[in-house]
Homo-oligomer: A and B are copies of this chain.
Amino acid sequence: MTYELYYWDGLQGRGEFVRLALEEAGADYVDVARGERGTPSMMDYIHGKHGYEMPFAPPFLKDGELIVSHVANILNYLGPKLGLVPKDEKSRIFAHGLQLTITDFITEVHDTHHPISTGDYYEDQKQEARARSKAFLKHRVPKFIGYFERIIAANPAKSGHAVGDGLTYVDLSLFQLAEGLAYAFPRAMKNFDKDYPGVARLRDAVAKRKNIEAYLKSKRRLAFNESGIFRHYPDLDQEPA
């Protein structure tokens, strides 16, 4: 059965965390809103035209009759099927907890450019965005990325991965975080590899995986842009703390 991924066309956004998992696993999937059926077919689900199981927002995944909404829920569902998480309950629950921490961090990344209102333009909340970005870069990046650095270091498997002795969807998401931060805040992230060597090594290892390397070179991997979560607004960047 072909997986159907529903997410906004034209940006990486939250959908990218799911895409990386599907690509790494070489899964059979279609990116529906980018295809012939387009965004309206996605909005039909959001607007409840297919009934009760309407997601609040993209991304969501359709697997046969099953609809799974929210990135972490999707990855928790796909993980065991795609071999992207160890199968034992303890590892799955731990990986899901890590992914939910990543989810929280992604929201904070988004709010660096939209601290007041998602419905308004960045330009209308630029001053507040500057203040929020400053606090984010000074306090939140070290708190979150430092946490993942400690997790990788403490992993009893000493594998360089976040969970167990092999690649999981958590690693793929950490790759995306590291890439996104470097795109959005190139100045502030100048010392990233020195400050977070474990995360940096993991990022590089993910980039070199055969399927990910092919994906990153493909047209399916859109470039980061200012419609996504990670946006490069030079005014929000700053020298490393």
Chain A positions within 8 Å of B, measured between CB atoms, are 48, 51-57, 60, 65-70, 72-73, 76-77, 89-90, 93-94, 96-97, 100-101, 103-104, 107, 111, 115-120, 125, 128, 131-132, 135, 139-140, 144, 147, 150-151, 154-156
Contact = CB atoms under 8 A, between A and B. Distances in A.
A76 B92 CA distance: 12
Contact of A66 (B67, B70, B90, B119): B90
Nearest to A143: B56
This chain: how many copies in the complex? 2
Contacts of A55: 97
A105 to B, nearest CB: 9
Nearest to A129: B116
B52 A66 contact: no
Given A66-B89, A115-B116, 5 more contacts: A56-B147, A70-B97, A117-B131, A118-B140, A128-B128
* The 6 nearest A-B residue pairs measured at CB: A117-B135, A69-B97, A70-B100, A52-B154, A56-B101, A116-B131
A119 to B, nearest CB: 5
